[in-house]
């Protein structure tokens, strides 16, 4: 079970929390989780190794804390934007080269996602299939398509236009079928 950041970390002053999150970002953007080192993180963040373990149970908890922070930040940036979820996703994908989180997300979807599969955690529970009796299947399918398009954009950045074309075609098909 993933514990995530401790209450102590969550209540740190914003400046100190930012320094630690930045150190985590640098580490996990440059090294797969299997090669990440607490020593490099604490050196960059200028905190003791003991403090690291007060804030996080282990590197996996630190990774999940950073990843959830990034995903939350991304969703805040997309939330309240005009257009359908598909249009929002296409705009986001087309701006990946300007996104400061791209190196971390590329490392996540290319390498770390498979490493984390052993923890059997599903951080995006809304991607699990809904009850088929519910009248939300169309929205769930669109959400699933947009997330897959995003993930594939990080995995295969040279295929972005093909990914966008597939997203549009799939969305159009769903809109005419359901």
The residue-averaged pLDDT of 84-90 equals 92
CATH of domain 1-80: 1.10.357.10
Task: Please state the domain extents for the chain.
Answer: 1-80, 81-178
Confidence of residue 127 (pLDDT cuts 50, 70, 90): low
pTM over 0.85: no
Q: What's the confidence (pLDDT) of residue 176? A: 86
Among residues 9, 22, 20, the alpha carbon closest in space to that of 57 is found at: 9
Structure confidence at residue 67 (pLDDT): 93
**Average pLDDT, integer, range 103-110:** 95
- What per-residue confidence (pLDDT) applies to 72? 87
Closest by Cα among 70, 74, 98 to 146: 74
Q: Read off the pLDDT band of 134 (50, 70, 90).
A: low
Across residues 69-82, what is the average pLDDT? 79
Q: Please give the structure tokens belonging to residue 166.
A: 């597939």
**pLDDT band for position 126 (cuts 50, 70, 90):** low
Rounded CA-CA distance 104/74 in Å is 13
Q: What is the DSSP letter of 131?
A: P
* pLDDT confidence bin for 125, thresholds 50/70/90: low
């Amino acid at each position: 079970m993933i514990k995530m950041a401790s209450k102590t970390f969550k209540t740190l002053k914003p400046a100190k929390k930012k320094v630690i999150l930045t150190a985590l970002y640098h580490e996990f953007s440059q090294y797969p989780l299997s090669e990440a080192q607490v020593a490099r993180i604490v050196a960059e963040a200028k905190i003791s190794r003991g403090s690291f373990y007060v804030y996080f149970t282990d590197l996996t908890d630190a990774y999940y804390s950073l990843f959830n922070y990034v995903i939350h930040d991304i969703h805040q940036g997309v939330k309240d934007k005009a257009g359908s979820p598909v249009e929002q996703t296409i705009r986001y994908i087309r701006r990946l080269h300007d996104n400061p989180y791209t190196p971390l997300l590329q490392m996540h979807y290319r390498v770390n996602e498979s490493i984390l599969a052993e923890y059997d955690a599903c951080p995006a529970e809304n991607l699990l299939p809904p009850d088929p009796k519910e009248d939300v299947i169309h929205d769930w399918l669109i959400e699933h398509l947009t997330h897959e398009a995003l993930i594939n954009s990080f995995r295969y950045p040279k295929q972005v236009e093909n990914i966008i074309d597939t997203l549009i075609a799939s969305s159009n098909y769903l809109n005419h079928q359901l």
